[in-house]
Amino acid sequence: EEAEIDHDEL
Amino acid sequence: MNIFRFAGDMTHLISILILLLKIYATKSCAGISLKTQELYALVFLTRYLDLFTDYVSLYNTVMKIVFIASSLAIVWCMRRHPLVRRSYDKDLDTFRHQYVVLACFVLALLLNEKFTIQEVFWAFSIYLEAVAILPQLVLLQRSGNVDNLTGQYVLFLGAYRGLYIINWIYRYFTEDHFTRWIACVSGLVQTGLYADFFYYYYLSWKTNTKLKLPA
């Protein structure tokens, strides 16, 4: 399962 | 969310609002590069493609909308506002920013987190933000005009960069799997270019203060 890419920074 | 990142977002937003208010209040955009402002608007538009698909938090969504709206407002003012547009240094703002856009897009096709539309555009926006200050830097070197680039604008822009780098250092030490190589490396390049901009800003500001003959 590929690590979900989370762009939490603006 | 850590205090450094929150403060970084706030100083970034304040720097944009200071510029917008300055242009609107003085009805002048002398010394401001429209190309840099257009690149910033493009950065936000391509970075926040997930605005309506991924919900991170209310703060995140609100800030994305505010960033897009304020950067587009500056571009609109400089292009359409009858009074403001007259003071635009069209013949000095000649940096070929289309090549920068192309280079960033090609780099984003090669270097991205995942080869999807959203991730390629996200990486594109990260690279583009790093070099977006170049037209403004060139215009400042040519015109030396800091009328509308107030000291506060530069101060908050510098604070934004500094706080984001501290945020990355903080996250690196506090979160086990924090790896944002694209954002961090590009962010460092961006901070380097900002330091160069600040240097020329200081030179122009110093020259201008000398030019203003004592009353």
Q: Which of B56, B67, B114 sits opposite A8 (nearest CB)?
A: B56
DSSP per residue, B1-25: --HHHHHHHHHHHHHHHHHHHHHHH
CA distance B28 to chain A (A): 29
For B49, B57, B180, the CA distances from B37, given in Å and listed in that order, are 19, 27, 26
B119 and chain A: CB distance < 8 Å anywhere? yes
> What does the pLDDT look like over A1-10, one tens digit per residue?
456 777 889 9
Indicate if ipTM > 0.85.
no
Q: What is the pLDDT of residue B129?
A: 98
CB atoms within 10 A of CB B25: 9
CA distance B55 to chain A (A): 10
Q: What is the pLDDT of residue A2?
A: 58
Question: Can you tell me the distance from the alpha carbon of B211 to that of B208, in angstroms, rounded to the nearest whole number?
Answer: 5
Of A4, A1, A3, A7, the closest CA to residue B50 belongs to A7
Query: DSSP state, B114?
Result: S
Q: Which of A5, A9, A10 sits opposite B113 (nearest CB)?
A: A5
Selected for mutation to probe chain B from A1, A6, A9 (highest B CB count within 10 Å) is A9
Q: What is the pLDDT of residue B178?
A: 83
Count residue pairs from A and B with Cβ separation < 8 A: 22
Give me the residue label for tokens 């020329």: B200
Say if the Cβ atoms of B9 and A7 lie within 8 Å.
Answer: no
User: Which amino acid appears at position A8 of this protein?
Assistant: D
Of B75, A2, A5, the closest CA to residue B122 belongs to A5
Give residues with Cβ within 8 angstroms of B9, minimum separation 6.
A10, B63, B160
Q: What is the pLDDT of residue B215?
A: 63
Selected for mutation to probe chain A from B9, B13, B56, B177 (highest A CB count within 10 Å) is B56
Per-residue pLDDT of chain B (215 residues; tens, 9 = 90+): 999 999 999 999 999 999 999 999 999 999 999 999 999 999 999 999 999 998 999 999 999 999 999 999 999 999 999 999 999 999 999 999 999 999 999 999 999 999 999 999 999 999 999 999 999 999 999 999 998 998 899 999 999 999 999 999 999 999 988 888 999 999 999 999 999 999 999 999 999 888 776 66
A1 and chain B: CB distance < 8 Å anywhere? no
CA distance B56 to chain A (A): 7
Q: What is the pLDDT of residue A6?
A: 78
Q: Which residue of A has its CA nearest to B13?
A: A10
Give residues with Cβ within 8 angstroms of B162, minimum separation 6.
B191
